[in-house]
Amino acid sequence: MEHSELLVDYSRAQFALTALYHWIFVPLTLGLTFIIAIMETIYVKTLDEKWKQITKYWMGLLAINFAIGLATGIIMEFEFGTNWSNYSWIVGDIFGAPLAIEGLMAFFMESTFFAVMFFGWEKVSKKAHLTSTWLVAVGSNLSALWILIANGWMQHPVGMKFNPDSARNEMESFAEVIFNPNAVSKFLHTISSGYVLASLFVISISAWYLLKKRDIAFAKKSIVVAASFGLVSSIFMLTTGDESAHQVALNQPMKLAAMEGLYKGEERAGIVAFGLLESEKEIGDDLDPFKFMFEIPGALSFLGYHDVNAFVPGIDDLILGNEKHNIISVKEKMIIGTKSVQALSDYKKYKKENNTIAMNEALKTFRATSHYMGYGYLKKPEDALPNVALTFYSFHIMVTAGSWFLVLFILVLYFSMKNELTKKKWLLRLAVITLPLGYVAQECGWIVAEVGRQPWAIQDLLPVGMATSNIGSTSVMITFWLFAILFTALLIAEVKIMLKQISIGPEGH
Amino acid sequence: MQSLRWIYSLYYDGFVNMKVGKTLWLLIAVKLFIMFVIIKWIFFPNIMKENFQTDKERSNYILEQLTKEN
């Protein structure tokens, strides 16, 4: 039974709020730990005390980000247990292993080596300290790996079998779960985007020092490291983004169609470079989906299927079906899904009656139909469509911003190498104002991944309406606003403490 | 014993010599108190743990939810 829309909406909104706030802190940690490790490596190699000062300064800002972001993710675990208990039970067996490894790894690696990294400058040898710094970087990134394996599984559930007795998805192959192509591409794309954000962070703050004509040597050295790291990470991010899109095309075609506002599928489908969606557009009508747009022909076919002539299904094809391209409609999937739910119900009934023959027959039907089980809970075909405008604009903001970051890294590195960066005030100003854009791009990435896969909590198997707990919506509403206040306060604290430390500068550390 | 003393002094000296760190630790303590004592305790019970005693009961409940309209 689907729970009340208000409850589902507030549960979703609360999870989105928590995840989006959590995601303000995480990517900076993922990238800044590596930048710091590189800086400290230069210090250990050159024994130049300036590099030690540079390392310690950025480490201080990392500490602020880490302290304020710490445990914001745990809230999501609370939400799983209370608001999403159906979902938690159903995925428990799959999520248990990766999340347990993540918890242990985060606790042991990060807490141990973080302490040595922050407190151990005078207590351990330079090499031991450097090793700890690198281990903090690797450890925090490995923590992200396990979370993203769990997330990748929701987007493309593999390596499991639904057990109709326990009502849980049980793991059949750990290797399939951890090497899930969706999870691997998601992990690589996510961490590389974190590296890009951290590079922007260092460049932006350093550029501010250069504009203020203070801490010049510190800022120039920091910029060279960050721009080099950012440039390599940006290229890596583009490659992993391409693989991510390929995986979306293969496993979540509706998300890809929403990302591009593509209603009528086509061969040599283009990518919309920029465009404004037509808000009146409905599924199956003849209205142009865009008020205006400019597209790059064939690019979407290439991005999605690595073939410029490939057919990319649109929203109409996926909802209404397309016989020519062997795409079955959502209506047909709903029939299969309903059959699957009925078979599960029959299995339960015959089990109670000890009717083994009928039970096995019901199980056979269930196994043959369960790949579309989730469609059995949809009320109408249109429910299979995510929010197109939000997905489309988020995707395009993310891609445009990501492209700009690459250009910025090239320009900053080029003028740094020519020793002309301090003269290029326009570039320094652009570098400063790009930092918020880095955060916007991060959040947009999350929106594309999560809003784009709606209505699914587990792709094709469990819609969000079935994943929520059967609880009253009032407490979810109260905690939504409580979190909104708490997280906003934390964000204000982060920005205030950070700004204070930036204005004190490296000399004050 | 010596290594325990070393670990103790690593943390002790580290905390004593902190500047911004003290504010951050205060912030962490307040935040964890709000999250774990107030929010978790009042608003976030583990539904499956609190409402059911055994895994069998939990499975039956979820199966019932999944097949309710059939």
Give A102-149 pLDDT, tens digit per residue. Answer: 777 776 776 788 889 988 888 899 999 999 999 999 988 988 888 899
Backbone φ, ψ for residue A269 (5° rounding):
-70, 140
- What integer pLDDT is reported at residue A1 of this predicted model? 46
Q: Which two tokens stand for residue A288?
A: 């142009």
Give Cβ neighbours of residue B12 (< 8 Å, ≥ 6 apart): none
Contact call for A82 and B47, based on CB within 8 A = yes
Is it the case that residue A250 has pLDDT exceeding 70? yes
Instruction: Kindly tell me the sign of the dihedral angle through the C-alpha atoms of A186, A289, A20, A468.
Output: negative
Length of chain A: 509
Contact call for A478 and B43, based on CB within 8 A = yes
Q: Which of A26-40, A252-266, B16-30, B32-46 has the lowest mean pLDDT?
A: B16-30
Contact call for B24 and A501, based on CB within 8 A = no
- What integer pLDDT is reported at residue A349 of this predicted model? 94
A501 and chain B: CB distance < 8 Å anywhere? yes
Quick one: A383 exposed, middle or buried, by C-beta within 10 A (0-12, 13-18, 19+)? middle
- What integer pLDDT is reported at residue A107 of this predicted model? 66
Is it the case that residue A441 has pLDDT exceeding 90? yes
Residue range A222-239: mean pLDDT, rounded? 97
Residue range B8-24: mean pLDDT, rounded? 75
Contact call for B20 and A345, based on CB within 8 A = no
CB A263 within 8 Å of CB A281: yes
Residue range A7-18: mean pLDDT, rounded? 92
Is it the case that residue B70 has pLDDT exceeding 60? no
A67 and chain B: CB distance < 8 Å anywhere? yes
Residue range B4-21: mean pLDDT, rounded? 76
Contact call for B63 and A493, based on CB within 8 A = no
Report pLDDT digits (tens) over A489-507: 888 988 888 899 899 988 7
Report pLDDT digits (tens) over A39-66: 999 999 999 999 999 999 999 999 888 8
Residues of B with Cβ-Cβ distance to A116 under 8 angstroms: 10
**Closest partner residue to A475 among B23, B40, B43, by Cβ?**
B43
Domain interval for residue B52 = 2-66
Residue range A264-275: mean pLDDT, rounded? 94
Between A118 and A339, name the one with better pLDDT. Answer: A339
Q: Distance from B14 to chain A by nearest Cα, in Å?
A: 5
CB A369 within 8 Å of CB A337: yes
- What integer pLDDT is reported at residue A123 of this predicted model? 86
Residue range A319-345: mean pLDDT, rounded? 96
Residue range A311-330: mean pLDDT, rounded? 96
Is it the case that residue A75 has pLDDT exceeding 70? yes
Reference A412, options A241, A236, A229, A238; nearest CA is: A229
CA pair distance B46, A394, nearest whole angstrom:
34
At A207, the pLDDT band (50, 70, 90 cuts) reads very high
To which residue do tokens 């057919």 refer?
A311
- What integer pLDDT is reported at residue A89 of this predicted model? 93
- What integer pLDDT is reported at residue A2 of this predicted model? 52
Quick one: A412 exposed, middle or buried, by C-beta within 10 A (0-12, 13-18, 19+)? buried
Instruction: Classify residue A371 by its DSSP letter.
Output: G
Reference A314, options A388, A371, A377; nearest CA is: A388
Residues of chain B with pLDDT > 90: what percent?
24
Residues of B with Cβ-Cβ distance to A112 under 8 angstroms: none
Instruction: Kindly tell me the sign of the dihedral angle through the C-alpha atoms of A329, A330, A333, A339.
Output: negative
- What integer pLDDT is reported at residue A143 of this predicted model? 85
- What integer pLDDT is reported at residue A330 of this predicted model? 97
Between A426 and A66, name the one with better pLDDT. Answer: A426
Q: Distance from A379 to chain B by nearest Cα, in Å?
A: 12
CA pair distance A458, A180, nearest whole angstrom:
14
Residues of A with Cβ-Cβ distance to B14 under 8 angstroms: 115, 118-120
Is it the case that residue A93 has pLDDT exceeding 90? no
CB A229 within 8 Å of CB A38: yes
Domain count, chain B: 1
Q: Which of A6-10, A103-107, A206-210, A351-355 has the lowest mean pLDDT?
A: A103-107
Q: Compute the mean pLDDT over every residue in chain A, rounded to the nearest whole number.
A: 93
At A228, the pLDDT band (50, 70, 90 cuts) reads very high
**Closest partner residue to B31 among A71, A469, A497, by Cβ?**
A71
Residues of B with Cβ-Cβ distance to A70 under 8 angstroms: 28, 31
To which residue do tokens 């390596």 refer?
A159
- What integer pLDDT is reported at residue A112 of this predicted model? 81
Mutation choice for B interface testing from A68, A111, A165, A166 by most B CBs within 10 A? A166
Between A297 and A105, name the one with better pLDDT. Answer: A297
At A381, the pLDDT band (50, 70, 90 cuts) reads very high
**Closest partner residue to A166 among B25, B59, B68, by Cβ?**
B59
Residue range A372-396: mean pLDDT, rounded? 97
Backbone φ, ψ for residue A160 (5° rounding):
-145, 170
Residue range B66-70: mean pLDDT, rounded? 78
- What integer pLDDT is reported at residue A298 of this predicted model? 94
Q: Distance from A90 to chain B by nearest Cα, in Å?
A: 8
Is it the case that residue A368 has pLDDT exceeding 90? yes
